[in-house]
């Protein structure tokens, strides 16, 4: 061993990366198993490349109000009243920690070399803009990258507004991100996975959280369907599926770390179920431990038969959410034609036979589609009540790069194409004399109050 005057080893200081999930401004928000999954995946990729990773999740929840299934209300604060000409005034709130709390957190951290900030909903960009400014002020020398759904769908808007970012990337530009990291840090990344190789990705770095109330399971990219209100085909033109064995291994990994709840956001989960979902569900049911699984995204009722329903129940799905859209055949066809009332009734019968009860089934009904009448939504609520199911009203969100957005954007009562803030469904962008905000308020109350016939 060399003495004091001998040769010394060369110490290379590891690069530091900070992940930030920004707070948001909205009129209503609740943590329905929400999580910055893409951000945490990229954190794990950087960690595999030797980076030290930190995380600031601004979307804190009220833990004492967390439900048994993992959902919880976000901490919130009223900030301003928003109203348009002739429109109902609405109280805008900030969900998550305050800017002052964020400044306090960041001020006590060692300066990172790289900051990754995500932005999910397009209409949440105001919070992202503020968080970018705070991060830039506190860490002026750090390189800041903005990614997520907002820049993927509103790239030009992000370029104009998010000037504190050194790089803005869409979901299709991971190679550009890798090049930027190498150029800005002067190092070579030995590990640059293709994000569409779902079986080869490291697990998202949920270990950075103080507690892990649930873990989302990424089982596919893309969608075989082309619903006219959905941007998935634009963001992921092809369909890539993860191997069932890989999903099983991840569940086992997180179970060993105390996780019992899992969330599946997968538009294709039941597609060709005999080759994918059914073998996966059987393997989950055969675990020597039980799990709880939730699917906030609706599965396609047309793909639910009695065998699939039984396996969903045995695997631990605590509820099943399905998209119904409308009882009107014309609207069913216009929004994608995935399901008809006859097909839906068959799926519901299969779920009941498989062990699910009325309160374990959630069904989405779309409200506020361009030109839609409020009576259509009421008929859909009544129809579902007659089948023993309560409707969940899903207010239509105008999403860029979708057929409905491109066809009807000029008919909205707000400039939805110019300012993503007005794409917020809480603002009811397509209200008209046949479907007003007063009608929507009545329908929400009606859906909660109507008594569903026992199934």
Token code pair at residue 89:
């005034």
Return the CATH superfamily for domain 214-449: Aldolase class I (3.20.20.70)
Segments in 265-337 forming alpha helices (H): 277-285, 306-315, 329-334
- Rounded mean pLDDT of 3-29? 75
CA distance 320 to 299: 8
CA distance 432 to 411: 10
Measured on CA atoms in the order 232, 265, 224, 221, is the torsion positive or negative?
Answer: positive
∠ CA 339-345-347, rounded to 5°: 75
> Higher confidence at residue 297 or residue 124?
124
- Rounded mean pLDDT of 20-44? 95
- For the ranges 78-82, 214-218, 321-325, 422-426, the lowest mean pLDDT is seen at 78-82
Token code pair at residue 182:
């190498």
pLDDT of residue 87: 65
- Rounded mean pLDDT of 296-316? 94
Reported confidence tier of residue 285, pLDDT bands at 50, 70, 90: very high
Q: Are residues 308 and 273 in contact, defined by beta-carbon separation less than 8 angstroms? A: yes
pLDDT of residue 308: 96
Residues 6+ apart with CB under 8 A from 402: 228, 229, 230, 231, 234
CA distance 339 to 311: 21
Domain segments of the chain as ranges: 16-185, 214-449
What are the backbone angles phi and psi of residue 92, rounded to the nearest 5°? -80, 140
Q: Mean pLDDT for the chain?
A: 92
Could you give the 3-state DSSP secondary structure of residue 221?
A: strand
Q: What is the pTM of this model?
A: 0.93
> Higher confidence at residue 221 or residue 133?
133
pLDDT of residue 383: 95
Summarize pLDDT for 122-150 with one digit per residue, the tens. Answer: 999 999 999 999 999 999 999 999 999 99
- For the ranges 87-96, 309-318, 339-348, the lowest mean pLDDT is seen at 87-96
For residue 10, pLDDT beyond 50: no
Q: Are residues 170 and 155 in contact, defined by beta-carbon separation less than 8 angstroms? A: yes
CB-CB neighbours of 88 under 10 Å:
14
Token code pair at residue 7:
């040769």
CA distance 146 to 128: 9
User: Which of 2, 44, 49 has the alpha carbon at shortest distance from 19?
Assistant: 44
Residues of the chain above pLDDT 70, percent: 95
Q: How many CA atoms lie within 13 A of 22 on its CB side?
A: 29
Calculate Rg over the CA atoms of the chain.
Answer: 23
Residue showing tokens 């794990």: 44
- For the ranges 89-93, 122-126, 380-384, 418-422, the lowest mean pLDDT is seen at 89-93
What are the backbone angles phi and psi of residue 310, rounded to the nearest 5°? -65, -40
Reported confidence tier of residue 5, pLDDT bands at 50, 70, 90: very low
User: Which of 276, 334, 266 has the alpha carbon at shortest distance from 300?
Assistant: 266
Q: At what angle do helices 306-315 and 341-354 cross, to 10 degrees?
A: 50
> Exposed (0-12), middle (13-18) or buried (19+): which is 39, by Cβ within 10 Å?
buried
What are the backbone angles phi and psi of residue 179, rounded to the nearest 5°? -65, -40
For residue 335, pLDDT beyond 90: no
Residues 6+ apart with CB under 8 A from 158: 119, 125, 146, 150, 151, 165, 168
pLDDT of residue 434: 95
pLDDT of residue 3: 38
Summarize pLDDT for 80-118 with one digit per residue, the tens. Answer: 877 654 566 789 999 999 999 999 999 999 999 999 999
Residues 6+ apart with CB under 8 A from 294: 33, 69, 70, 214, 261, 262, 263, 264, 317, 318, 319
Give me the architecture of the 16-185 domain, per CATH.
3-Layer(aba) Sandwich (3.40)
DSSP state of 287: S
Reported confidence tier of residue 12, pLDDT bands at 50, 70, 90: low
User: Which of 37, 57, 56 has the alpha carbon at shortest distance from 45?
Assistant: 37
Reported confidence tier of residue 2, pLDDT bands at 50, 70, 90: very low
CA distance 379 to 7: 82
pLDDT of residue 17: 97
Summarize pLDDT for 233-276 with one digit per residue, the tens. Answer: 999 988 899 999 999 999 999 999 999 999 999 878 998 888 89
Summarize pLDDT for 34-84 with one digit per residue, the tens. Answer: 999 999 999 999 999 999 999 999 999 999 999 999 999 999 999 987 765
> Higher confidence at residue 328 or residue 86?
328
pLDDT of residue 195: 85
- Rounded mean pLDDT of 227-235? 93
pLDDT of residue 454: 57
User: Which of 168, 180, 111 has the alpha carbon at shortest distance from 140?
Assistant: 111
Residues 6+ apart with CB under 8 A from 112: 16, 17, 18, 54, 139, 142
pLDDT of residue 297: 87
Reported confidence tier of residue 7, pLDDT bands at 50, 70, 90: very low
């Amino acid at each position: 061993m060399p003495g004091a005057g001998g040769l010394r080893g060369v110490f290379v200081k590891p690069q530091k990366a900070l992940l930030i999930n920004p707070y948001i401004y909205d009129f209503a928000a609740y943590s329905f198993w929400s999580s910055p999954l893409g951000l945490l995946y990229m954190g794990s990729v950087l960690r595999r490349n030797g980076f030290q990773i930190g995380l600031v999740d601004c979307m804190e929840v009220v833990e004492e109000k967390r439900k048994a299934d993992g959902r919880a209300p976000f901490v919130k604060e009223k900030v301003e009243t928003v109203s348009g000409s002739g429109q109902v005034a609405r109280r805008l709130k900030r969900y998550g920690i305050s800017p002052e709390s964020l400044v306090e957190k960041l001020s006590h951290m060692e300066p990172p070399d790289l900051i990754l900030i995500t932005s999910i909903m397009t209409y949440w960009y105001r919070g992202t803009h503020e968080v970018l400014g705070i991060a830039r002020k506190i860490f002026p020398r750090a390189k800041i990258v903005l990614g997520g759904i907002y820049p993927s769908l509103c790239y030009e808007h992000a370029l104009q507004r998010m000037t504190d970012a050194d790089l803005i990337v869409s979901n299709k530009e991971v190679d550009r991100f890798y090049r930027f990291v190498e150029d800005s840090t002067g190092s070579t990344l030995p590990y640059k996975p293709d994000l569409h190789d779902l079986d080869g990705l490291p697990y998202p770095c949920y270990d950075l959280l103080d507690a892990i109330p649930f873990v989302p399971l990424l089982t596919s990219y893309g969608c075989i369907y082309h619903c006219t209100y959905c941007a998935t085909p634009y963001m992921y033109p092809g369909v890539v599926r993860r191997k069932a064995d890989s999903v099983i291994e991840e569940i086992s990994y997180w179970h060993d770390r105390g996780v019992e709840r899992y969330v599946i956001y997968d538009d294709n989960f039941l597609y060709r179920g005999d080759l994918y979902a059914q073998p996966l569900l059987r393997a989950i049911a055969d675990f020597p431990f039980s799990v709880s699984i939730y699917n906030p995204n609706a599965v396609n009722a047309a793909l639910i038969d009695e065998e699939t329903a039984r396996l969903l129940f045995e695997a631990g799905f605590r509820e099943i959410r399905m998209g119904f859209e409308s009882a009107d055949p014309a609207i069913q066809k216009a929004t994608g034609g995935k399901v008809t009332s006859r097909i839906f009734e068959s799926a519901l019968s299969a779920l009941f036979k498989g062990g699910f009860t009325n309160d374990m089934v959630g069904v989405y009904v779309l409200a506020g589609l361009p030109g839609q009448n409020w009576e259509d939504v009421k008929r859909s609520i009544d129809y579902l009540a007659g089948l023993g199911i309560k409707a969940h009203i899903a207010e239509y969100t105008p999403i860029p790069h979708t057929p409905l957005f491109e066809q009807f954007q000029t008919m909205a009562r707000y400039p939805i194409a110019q300012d993503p803030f007005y794409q917020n469904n809480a603002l009811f962008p397509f209200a008209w004399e046949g479907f007003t905000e007063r009608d929507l308020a009545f329908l929400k109350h009606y859906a909660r109050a109507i008594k569903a016939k026992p199934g």
